[in-house]
Structure 1
Amino acid sequence: MITVVWLCGTGFGDRIDGISQVFADCLDPTRFEFQPVPYPADYGTRLSYAESVARGRFALASAIRNAPGRVVAGGYSQGAGIAGDVVAEIGRGERPGLEVDACALIADPRRPRLTGLPDTAPAPGYGVSDERPVDGIPAYWAAAPGDPISALPAGNPLRGVADVSEYFTIASPADAVKWGEDLVARAKACRWQRWWSLENWRDWGGAIEYAWNYLQPPVGGGRHTAAYIELGIAARLASTINRTVRE
């Protein structure tokens, strides 16, 4: 049995979010055991995001080390960011004693451009927190087109928010709506850091569109949440793991 160690999204440190549950349900139960790894999954409510990430990294590394056999590591949203970072370090030889067969990431905030799933066109753009490749280990990225976290255009002004805003927060529907509405207000008021390259300039309408995409339907586009279920993206990632990680 291959253990799939998994970090869920923000607000779901001790329970499974809907996107992660769909992924788990689509794994082959005769070959894979889905193991959610508890971690703070916070972004400023109880802990800073940096502290949540640090504890998540430790928890995931411990889960990989203590697994009884072969391992696939992955996660959703904040969890994907952490899992991708840890697996990238394993691939670079920076974590002696840790081994994983593959990496499965949904809505990774550090997804490199042009990465995705086999036989599927990759989503445009790349992660809101810039790009982090994973070398030496098979890695698969599930990204919904229009997701402001994992598929943001290079010049979209929302990139300026990554340094100052709780862009992973889905601790409750009310928190998600509040965050998305704040993004829309910022975009309309042109209140952004001007750090992007001029050749990547996009108009403010792009920022408003992608902020709207974060919100759950029917208020918004749901590209960071509902799209992964409704478009079958989380299920396709599980199918890829079923097909490519063999006994």
Structure 2
Amino acid sequence: MNKIALITGATAGIGEACAHVFAREGYNLILTGRRLDRLEKVAHHLNDKYNVEVAVSSFDVRNREQVVENLEGLPAEWKKVNVLINNAGLSQGLDPIQNGSYDDWDTMIDTNVKGLLYVSRVVSNWMIGNGYGHIINLGSIAGKEVYANGNVYCATKHAVDALNKGMRIDLLPHGIKVTAVHPGAVETEFSEVRFKGDKDRAKKVYEGFEPLAADDIAETIWFVASRPAHVNINDLVIMPTAQATAGNIFRK
């Protein structure tokens, strides 16, 4: 039977790119996200192209009841997950702390921290029961540094960094691998979501240099997941060549 990868936030960007890479490598997939139509489109494409089985489950990771109900409702054979990619995450706004939106703060904390926890709580128990597994958490350079007006987003990604380290320790006796991948600037829907649909403002973020692409991160995640059983990559930071730190980008 094919190995299984569960990918959250698989409707676009890094999550969708991961789905393509893992399908290419022969994994069956569980794809989750809020946009069912996008999930189904991706699933049909991957099934046709790679002849792998793809299950879709549409829910919001911020909603604990939805997470538990949808994941625990999967058939037993789909709970033999080899790789969990905690990709679902976002940023909202770019404001100094004194002007920040309460709603934006809640959205980021509920998605980036609590959503990751809800999914990991369910799937880690499956992995313990199965006796194998690898959890890969999508962090950010914002989890290693703090930049102006990134306050709460940076705080959530620092939390992911800490949770990754905690998971690594807690799951060590069970032989479960745990990795964090922390990208710098990646051109996806990220900035468009941050700026709430302002495509012109989002485009300016990536002007004057070549950012990372979703495929770059997906291939890196595949590299991490494909190491031998005795090898665990705990922590990985990946940047565009033109970016040295969160706020230091060389633009031509």
TM-score scaled by length of structure 1: 0.46
More helix by share: 2
More strand by share: 2
TM-score scaled by length of structure 2: 0.45
